[in-house]
Amino acid sequence: MKQRKIPLRKCVACQEMMSKKQLIRVVKTPDDTVLIDLTGKKSGRGAYLCGKLSCFKLAHKNKALDRALKHHVQPEIYEQLAQDFIKVEDEFLAAKESADDE
């Protein structure tokens, strides 16, 4: 029996395992910038969150993102990320839905 392996990643906030496609990657680049990486290709240490603002907020609250990135994320960075997250949330969900249709 052949098994197709789908690489799974864990949302750092809710600990749910999901395929990479269903998660938003947050990356800490080598120059210590923390940003949302929709391409999934930026180098640096990455953390995954499901595309839900609630998970982002949870990761902020329990410092899951800090731990995953091994970096103290500054409050203003969180604010910036939250704004970006709201922006990409819609895009992300729309992309996911159209992918599901295929």
Is 26 a residue that touches Zn ion (CB under 5 A)?
Answer: no
Residues 6+ apart with CB under 8 A from 102: none
Number of residues that bind Zn ion (CB under 5 A): 5
Is 14 a residue that touches Zn ion (CB under 5 A)?
Answer: yes
The correct pick among 13, 23, 65, 68 for binding Zn ion (CB under 5 A) is 13
CA distances 92 to 4, 60, 73, Å, are: 25, 20, 23
For residues 54 to 73, the per-residue mask of contacts with Zn ion, x marking binding by CB under 5 A and - elsewhere, is -x------------------
- One-letter amino acid for residue 9 of the chain: R
